[in-house]
């Protein structure tokens, strides 16, 4: 194979083992003085993402929207909402990112639209208009109640009555977010046309929101109760939300979705080096769903689940998640993350009383970056930001407002980036931002941490450079090493190259005996940690890590 063909193949697989940095546009940088972040603001600050050593950025939605769900309610898939800028601003951002060697992925929210989308406005006018079946409409039961027992994640039934059509329409989220009917091929065609619009503008990939929600059961059968063995909330639907009481057999994760994902992939394959990552929220079935959506090389490139977005930062939990992935996903690919825009920041989830939050942040990144798979980082985690504790009157998230105070919603992880501690609102804006800037975040600002060699920000740069410098960490095999202690120990292997990692996620010192099969192991300088290795005995402190190489 020629060098040119080898390079092209490598580029087409850029997503495999990639580090993706998620940007929440409204909270990254305000350039216009309206208190909300925007695309020119991202362009201004994008060198920060490049300085981390990431491979790509993922932009949360910036499309035209009434912003009832902060842009996840799209009213025009092919234009930029004025609060974020213009299409020209987007093109400038893509050019700047590409010039820095960064791929650009955008959020495609195609399971539903805003009720202000022209498609829905037409669909609700009658039962016989050209788009009458573009959304999920159903007649009431004889007593006038909803067609079945399906629930909305954002509270209440998943059905809303429309007086003009005298039917209910389905909404998995807000009543202003009607679900598209993917059983209608014209809907699929129209959505793929919008995807092509962005491909032609040069985007490198798509994060597919709620990718397993596209299809519903044609028969509209009731969901059964959740089995006792799987009862309890998840990261995407906490136990305070009755949505978690149902086994969602019929309102999502339908078999027809696989054929649509093949259509989506066939479109991307007409372009060079494009990629997809799907968000799978499916409770205990998530990993089986990821396997179905990524195996075979003809659907999604990779998916992420909510498994590591839980409060559980233990060796047993992480080992169990990774083991399950390795057993179920044969030729597919996983994307791991500890934080995103939908869950409490992981420093707050993982830190216990008496911990140094910065050390927890460093250890978490060290674990995540050594796992087999691609990884997503969420803006601000590289600073060790904790979850913001907001007052009810400051909330903007409809999910949090609906379930307050048992569940405070997602605004606590969406507060503005802190760039310069001495500037108004930490350099994010010159006016009061759309969400408050917590005072506790100011001392963690980018300018402070840039000047500290031992900062969380410095650690992120060092660990990501370490990952990039070792090819075995991109796509090497992973095998867990048995231990009688509560330690996370595994090897990464590619060819003759074998690297051992041992993580002590507890707060107590621990010893690890290096097995005979790893005889000749030598310690490798691992950013931020320096445990003692004497012969075959490794001594780790609490919240400690080790790397060794044969």
Out of 115, 279, 382, 544, the active site residue is 279
CA distances from 306 to 41, 273, 319, 334 (A): 29, 27, 15, 12
Give yes or no: 382 in active site: no
CA-CA distance, 5 to 327, in Å (whole number)? 32
Out of 115, 179, 209, 251, the active site residue is 209
Closest-CA residue to 265 (of 352, 359, 342, 195):
195
In terms of Cβ atoms closer than 10 Å to its own Cβ (0-12, 13-18, 19+), residue 483 is middle
Which residues have a Cβ under 8 Å from the Cβ of 469 and sit 6 or more positions away?
A: none
CA-CA distance, 228 to 525, in Å (whole number)? 47
Both tokens of residue 184? 């209608």
Please give the backbone phi and psi of residue 63, each rounded to the nearest 5 degrees, phi first.
-75, 165
CA distances from 347 to 119, 273, 290, 417, 424 (A): 42, 34, 26, 16, 25
DSSP E strand boundaries for 268-387: 275-279, 302-304, 335-336, 374-378
Give yes or no: 209 in active site: yes
CB atoms near residue 285 (< 10 Å) = 18
Closest-CA residue to 355 (of 544, 510, 130):
544
| Helix, strand, coil percent values for the chain (each to nearest 5) | 30, 20, 50
Tell me which residues are annotated as active site: 209, 279
């Amino acid at each position: 194979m020629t060098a040119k063909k080898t390079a092209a193949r490598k580029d087409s697989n850029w997503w495999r083992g990639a580090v993706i940095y998620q940007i929440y546009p409204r909270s990254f940088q305000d350039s216009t003085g309206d208190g909300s972040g925007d695309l020119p603001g991202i362009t201004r600050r994008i060198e920060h993402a490049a300085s981390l050593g990431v491979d790509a950025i993922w932009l949360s939605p910036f499309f035209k929207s009434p912003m009832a769900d902060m842009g996840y309610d799209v009213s025009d898939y092919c234009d930029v909402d004025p609060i974020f800028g213009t299409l020209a601003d987007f093109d400038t951002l893509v050019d700047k990112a590409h010039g820095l060697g960064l791929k650009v992925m955008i959020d495609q929210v195609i399971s539903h639209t805003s009720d202000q989308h022209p498609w829905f406005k037409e669909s609700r006018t009658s039962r016989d208009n050209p788009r009458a079946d573009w959304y999920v409409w159903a007649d009431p039961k004889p007593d006038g109640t909803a067609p079945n027992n399906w629930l909305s994640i954002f509270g209440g039934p998943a059905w809303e009555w429309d007086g003009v059509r005298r039917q209910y329409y389905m909404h998995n989220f807000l009543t202003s977010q009607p679900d598209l009917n993917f059983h209608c091929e014209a809907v699929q065609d129209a959505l793929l046309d919008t995807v092509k619009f962005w491909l032609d503008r040069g985007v490198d990939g798509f994060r597919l929101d709620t990718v397993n929600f596209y299809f519903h059961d044609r028969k509209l059968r009731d969901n059964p109760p959740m089995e006792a063995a799987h009862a309890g909330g998840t990261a995407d639907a906490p136990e305070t939300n009755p949505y978690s009481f149902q086994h969602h057999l019929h309102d999502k994760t339908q078999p027809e979705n696989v054929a649509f994902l093949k259509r989506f992939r066939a479109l991307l394959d007409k372009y060079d080096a494009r990629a997809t990552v799907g968000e799978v929220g499916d409770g205990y079935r998530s990993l089986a769903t990821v396997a179905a959506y990524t195996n075979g090389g003809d659907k999604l490139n990779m998916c992420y689940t909510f498994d590591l977005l839980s409060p559980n930062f233990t060796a047993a939990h992480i080992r169990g998640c990774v083991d399950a992935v390795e057993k179920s996903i044969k030729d597919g690919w996983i994307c791991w993350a500890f934080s995103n825009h939908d869950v409490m920041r992981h420093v707050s989830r993982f830190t216990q009383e008496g911990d140094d939050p910065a050390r927890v942040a460093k250890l978490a990144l060290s674990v995540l970056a050594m796992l087999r798979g691609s990884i997503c980082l969420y803006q601000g985690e590289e600073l060790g930001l904790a979850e913001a504790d907001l007052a009810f009157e400051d909330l903007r998230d409809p999910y949090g407002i609906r379930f307050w105070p048992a569940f405070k919603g997602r605004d606590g992880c969406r507060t503005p980036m802190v760039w310069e501690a001495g500037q108004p609102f930490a350099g994010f804006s010159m006016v009061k931002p759309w969400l408050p800037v917590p005072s506790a975040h100011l001392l963690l600002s980018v300018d402070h941490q840039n000047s500290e060699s031992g900062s969380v920000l410095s650690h992120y740069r060092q660990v990501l450079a370490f990952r990039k410098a070792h090819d075995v960490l991109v796509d090497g095999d992973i095998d867990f090493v048995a231990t009688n202690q509560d330690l996370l120990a595994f090897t990464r292997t590619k060819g003759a190259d074998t690297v051992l990692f041992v993580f002590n996620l507890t707060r107590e010192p621990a010893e690890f005996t290096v097995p005979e099969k790893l005889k000749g192991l030598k310690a490798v300088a691992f950013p931020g940690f320096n445990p003692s290795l004497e012969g075959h005995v490794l001594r780790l402190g609490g919240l400690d890590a080790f790397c060794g190489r044969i």
